[in-house]
Structure 1
Amino acid sequence: MTHVCLDDFERAARDVLPGEIWDFLAGGSGAEASLTANRTALERIFMIPRMLRDLTGSTTEVEVLGRRTALPMAVAPVAYQRLFHPDGEIAAACAARDAGVPYIICTLSSVPLEKIAAVGGRPWFQLYWLRDEKRSLELVRRAEDAGCEAIVFTVDVPWMGRRLRDMRNGFALPDGVRAANFAAGAAAHRRTQGISAVADHTAREFAPADWESVAAVRARTDLPLVLKGILAVEDARRAVEAGADGIVVSNHGGRQLDGAVPGIEVLGEVAAAVSVGCEVLLDGGIRSGGDILKAVALGASAVLVGRPVMWGLAAAGQDGVQQVLELLAAEFRDVLGLAGCDSVSAARRLSTRVSQYG
């Protein structure tokens, strides 16, 4: 079957994944209001294209955190990617490398971070704050030593949100899939009715981060530091004061606080508040090149794409991820030109409107 949009990959992934693993990937927290709102908010945004522009030499390349990338996007951190395909993180990282976009290695990756970074490309490392600060900072050191180019510190998970699908399924990691970056107990594999074993595991391993945690990471590394999970303007400003080089505006894909505002709805005001010296990225609900264009027009340096990359991984391994990234690249080139823009910087000057019909 020829896949012509990301929805095609979603259907293909759902067809091949066991139901409880599909729920782990697709689901959100609570009633999944924020999960649904991420898409609704993006669909309500419409562009005002410009006409009669010179599109000679158009390019989708952009600088993100000081390095050129092929597109204004990175592959979002997603836990336990060997759930979706035996090649897991290695396949996804290889495809990102070949596509010329950063790949963010998750603390909860199912392959050690060093092996993922070794495939090359532009690896970044996503950090969850662990109960033992020394272990947290050791992960930062390992990421540096492995050649990662940035630390993406997720700050919106003091503990895992109540993901009802996983609870109903009594979801637990299967044999052969584990948190490969640190020694952990058996909690994530212990199946109990009405309990998410993954949530139980993170409750045992994670600690709520605070601004002192951010200061400790900032003091530990000279790599660019990005705080992921910021929605409030006040937190964005404080992130800059704390030495953050970037912010990811995100409600964690609707998987943490159910009812948290979609990132796209506050992106513009956050970007305006930290317009000097701090890059702003958007995470949550990106499903097309058109969504990337909307995010850029509203102030994002780049976007993170998570679930669609996992759809490609589940459907066809590295080839599937490559196809997803190629499709996003083709769509973004198309909409960039149709909007009258020859570059990402030109797209930042586009106007948008929010429609009641979206």
Structure 2
Amino acid sequence: MGEQAHAERDWAAFQYEIYLNGMTGAVPRMPADLTRLEELAAHRLGPGPVGYVAGSAGSGRTERANRSALDRWQIVPRMLRDVRRRDLSADVLGSRLPAPLALAPIGVQSIMHPDAEPAAARAAAAHGVPFVLSSASSTPMEEVAAACGDGVRWFQLYWPKDREVTLSFLRRARAAGYSALFVTLDTWLLSWRPRDLDQAYLPFLRGVGTANYFTDPAFQAGLAKPVHEDLDAAVLHFVQMFTDPGKTWDDLAFLREHWEGPIVLKGVLHPDDARRAADAGMDGVVVSNHGGRQVNGAIGAADALPGVVDAAGDRLAVLFDSGVRTGDDVFKALALGARAVLLGRPYVYGLGLDGQAGVEHVIRALLAEFDLTLALSGYTAPGELTRDALVRADR
């Protein structure tokens, strides 16, 4: 999709498509209000899979803080501005995108739908939205890359203890056309997650979410028998090397040496960590608390965003996730200084409810609402948004 096509994309027209389809008696299979997806998924899918996606650390305090942080900001619409022509396109990590949105890395998607990550990747590519593949995917990275076609794809790394496996992942990802590397920093250990614990549900122990590892030659070299001959031993090897809580800032030099494209650190919440990322030669950060899944009682991501943006200056691309559910959430994150937003749980609920079509619905609905919010607030492009577009409700 060329730049001209990006500029002419009328995301808001999705609402009229729905209305016109209604003239023939057709109504959408999925709700227009994306905040309803979790409840629908809970009714239609099993408690283990839904709990794994929806669950949070501890009492869920951080997940609630994410929503409160976004809700504290209120949009101040401006009037009598020409908003007939709008261009939502954005330059992010070396790619020209039709909108400042990507699908966040979420693993083990096969627990929600048998078509798993390839279905979500096809949906993303169909609308020009980058797909960020999790290391812990249910599908090998090469198969997901094929599903993306010519679409922009980025690879998320849970940084293993085994250096050879890390190098192999990086080589495979580059060969498969993943253009940026997202390194998750906040999941060196799994947090206390009551919904998963109450179901005794951890897909990795069943060999789900391990496809990239089980197909990796460096990983296989560490096994006494092939995976299919001794699954338990393969799972144990995976668990022992999945992440490394001993990693420090000094270790980033290894990734910088072995990855040629942009490197983005995911999970940054403190301004000083943004500065250290820039000093280490990183290209971006994602302001994220893992959707509230890691540290119960942590700062809401939108509360952390302005400080990280100010610290990053023009040295880093700042992206945002955690708590995004609606088009106005996207508006607020961009006005607070994010260059793009990663959408997480809602698209996975869409996948669980209706496969690829469900993910496409979520993408189109979110961007239609964002486009309309942008126009009705008096703006025609994401780059026009500043903090002046918002006020805090608690001031």
- Map of 1:309-328 to 2, 5 A cutoff? 309-328=347-366
1:263 aligns with 2:301: yes
* Secondary structure of 1:118 counterpart: helix
Question: What stretches of structure 2 of length at least 5 have no aligned partner?
Answer: 1-28
Q: Choose 148-157 or 133-142, whichever is displaced more.
A: 133-142
* Secondary structure of 2:39 counterpart: helix
- Map of 1:209-358 to 2, 5 A cutoff? 209-348=247-386, 350-356=388-394
* Secondary structure of 1:182 counterpart: helix
Q: Do the aligned partners of 1:159 and 1:203 also contact (CA within 8 Å) in 2?
A: no
Q: For 1:246, give the aligned amino acid.
A: G
Q: How many residues align?
A: 348
Q: 2:243 aligns with which of 192, 206, 214?
A: 206
Q: Do the aligned partners of 2:265 and 2:284 also contact (CA within 8 Å) in 1?
A: yes
- Map of 1:2-13 to 2, 5 A cutoff? 2-13=30-41
* Secondary structure of 2:213 counterpart: coil
* Secondary structure of 1:160 counterpart: coil
Q: Which has the greater radius of gyration?
A: 2
C-alpha displacement of 1:354: 1.7
C-alpha displacement of 1:254: 0.5
1:147 aligns with 2:185: no
The structure-2 alpha-carbon separation of the partners of 1:82 and 1:180, relative to structure 1 and needing over 3 Å to count, comes to: same
Q: For 1:310, give the aligned amino acid.
A: V
Counterpart of 1:158?
188
Please give the root-mean-square deviation of Cα atoms over the aligned residues, in Å: 2.1
C-alpha displacement of 1:106: 0.3
Q: Do the aligned partners of 2:158 and 2:242 also contact (CA within 8 Å) in 1?
A: no
Structure 1 CA distance, aligned partners of 2:111 and 2:131? 18
Question: What stretches of structure 1 of length at least 5 have no aligned partner?
Answer: 191-197
C-alpha displacement of 1:177: 3.1
Q: Choose 6-15 or 245-254, whichever is displaced more.
A: 6-15
The structure-2 alpha-carbon separation of the partners of 1:199 and 1:240, relative to structure 1 and needing over 3 Å to count, comes to: farther
Cα shift readout 1:205-225 (whole Å, capped 9, x = no counterpart) = 211232133211111111111
The structure-2 alpha-carbon separation of the partners of 1:242 and 1:279, relative to structure 1 and needing over 3 Å to count, comes to: same
Q: For 1:323, give the aligned amino acid.
A: H
Q: Which has the higher helix share?
A: 2
C-alpha displacement of 1:285: 0.5
What is the identity percentage for the equivalent residue pairs of Structure 1 and Structure 2?
Answer: 40
C-alpha displacement of 1:9: 2.5
Q: Do the aligned partners of 2:38 and 2:54 also contact (CA within 8 Å) in 1?
A: no
Q: For 1:92, give the aligned amino acid.
A: A
Q: Do the aligned partners of 1:227 and 1:246 also contact (CA within 8 Å) in 2?
A: yes
Structure 2 CA distance, aligned partners of 1:237 and 1:212? 14
* Secondary structure of 2:57 counterpart: coil
Counterpart of 2:210?
179
Q: For 1:72, give the aligned amino acid.
A: P
Q: TM-score, normalised by structure 2?
A: 0.84
The structure-2 alpha-carbon separation of the partners of 1:139 and 1:201, relative to structure 1 and needing over 3 Å to count, comes to: closer
* Secondary structure of 1:259 counterpart: coil
Q: Do the aligned partners of 2:121 and 2:131 also contact (CA within 8 Å) in 1?
A: yes
Structure 1 CA distance, aligned partners of 2:60 and 2:136? 23
* Secondary structure of 2:212 counterpart: coil
Q: 2:113 aligns with which of 64, 76, 85?
A: 85
The structure-2 alpha-carbon separation of the partners of 1:110 and 1:222, relative to structure 1 and needing over 3 Å to count, comes to: same
Q: For 1:139, give the aligned amino acid.
A: F
Q: For 1:66, give the aligned amino acid.
A: G
The structure-2 alpha-carbon separation of the partners of 1:224 and 1:236, relative to structure 1 and needing over 3 Å to count, comes to: same
